[in-house]
Structure 1
Amino acid sequence: MSLDVHLLFLLCVALATFAQCLTGFAFGLILIGLVAILQLIPLGEVAVVISILTLGNALVTVAGPKPQLDRRILMPLLISSLLGVCLGIWGLGALDGRQIAWLRLLLGGVILVASLMLVVQSKPRERLSGAPAFWVAGGLCGVLNGLFSSGGPPIVYHLYRQPLGYELIRNTLITVFACNAAMRLGLVAAQGELSLTTLWLSAEALPLVMLLSWLVRRYPPKLSLRTVRWLVFALLVLAGGSLIAEALPELLALYRG
Structure 2
Amino acid sequence: MSLETHLLFLFCVALATFAQCLTGFAFGLILIGLVAVLQLLPLGEVAVVISILTLGNALVTVAGPKPQLDRTILTPLLISSLLGVCLGIWGLGALDGRQIAWLRLLLGGVIILASLMLVLQSKPREQPSSFSAYWVAGGLCGVLNGLFSSGGPPIVYHLYRQPLAYELIRNTLITVFACNAAMRLGLVTVQGQLSLDTLWLSAEALPLVMLLSWLVRRYPPKLSLRAVRLLVFVLLLLAGGSLIAEAVPELLALYRG
2:203 aligned partner: 203
2:121 and 2:220 mapped to 1: Cα distance? 27
Instruction: Name the SS of the counterpart of 1:172 in structure 2.
Output: helix
2:52 aligned partner: 52
1:161 aligned partner: 161
- Structure 1 counterpart of 2:218, one-letter code: R
Compare 101-110 and 25-34 and name the one that shifted more.
Answer: 101-110
1:182 aligned partner: 182
Compare 101-110 and 74-83 and name the one that shifted more.
Answer: 101-110
1:233 and 1:161 mapped to 2: Cα distance? 19
1:141 aligned partner: 141
CA contact (8 A) 2:28 2:150 kept: yes
Measure how far apart 1:169 and its partner are: 1.6
Measure how far apart 1:173 and its partner are: 1.0
Measure how far apart 1:132 and its partner are: 1.1
1:78 and 1:166 mapped to 2: Cα distance? 19
Q: Which runs of 5+ in 2 are unaligned?
A: none
Instruction: Name the SS of the counterpart of 1:123 in structure 2.
Output: coil
- Structure 2 counterpart of 1:200, one-letter code: W
1:247 aligned partner: 247
1:41 aligned partner: 41
CA contact (8 A) 1:36 1:246 kept: no
**Residues 58 and 37 from structure 1, CA distance in 2 versus in 1: closer, same or farther, beyond 3 angstroms?**
same
Compare 224-233 and 35-44 and name the one that shifted more.
Answer: 224-233
Q: Does residue 6 of the first structure (1) align with residue 3 of the second (2)? A: no
2:219 aligned partner: 219
CA contact (8 A) 1:112 1:240 kept: yes
Instruction: Name the SS of the counterpart of 1:162 in structure 2.
Output: coil
Compare 135-144 and 166-175 and name the one that shifted more.
Answer: 166-175
**Residues 2 and 178 from structure 1, CA distance in 2 versus in 1: closer, same or farther, beyond 3 angstroms?**
same
Q: Does residue 237 of the first structure (1) align with residue 242 of the second (2)? A: no
Measure how far apart 1:168 and its partner are: 1.6
Aligned length: 257
2:85 and 2:150 mapped to 1: Cα distance? 11
CA contact (8 A) 2:114 2:152 kept: no
Q: Which runs of 5+ in 1 are unaligned?
A: none
- Structure 1 counterpart of 2:187, one-letter code: L
1:25 aligned partner: 25
Compare 175-184 and 100-109 and name the one that shifted more.
Answer: 100-109
- Structure 1 counterpart of 2:179, one-letter code: C
Instruction: Name the SS of the counterpart of 1:69 in structure 2.
Output: coil
**Residues 4 and 96 from structure 1, CA distance in 2 versus in 1: closer, same or farther, beyond 3 angstroms?**
same
**Residues 122 and 101 from structure 1, CA distance in 2 versus in 1: closer, same or farther, beyond 3 angstroms?**
same
CA contact (8 A) 1:141 1:154 kept: yes
Q: Does residue 91 of the first structure (1) align with residue 119 of the second (2)? A: no
Instruction: Name the SS of the counterpart of 1:92 in structure 2.
Output: helix
**Residues 37 and 106 from structure 1, CA distance in 2 versus in 1: closer, same or farther, beyond 3 angstroms?**
closer
- Structure 2 counterpart of 1:221, one-letter code: P
Instruction: Name the SS of the counterpart of 1:163 in structure 2.
Output: coil
2:62 aligned partner: 62
1:254 and 1:186 mapped to 2: Cα distance? 34
Measure how far apart 1:170 and its partner are: 1.4
1:223 and 1:165 mapped to 2: Cα distance? 20
RMSD of Structure 2 on Structure 1 (CA): 2.2
CA contact (8 A) 1:86 1:146 kept: yes
Q: Percent identity?
A: 90
Instruction: Name the SS of the counterpart of 1:124 in structure 2.
Output: coil
| TM-score normalized by the length of structure 1 | 0.90
Instruction: Name the SS of the counterpart of 2:127 in structure 1.
Output: coil
1:128 and 1:245 mapped to 2: Cα distance? 39
CA contact (8 A) 1:30 1:238 kept: no
Q: Deviations over 1:31-74 (max 9, x none)?
A: 01101111111111101100111101101111111112111211
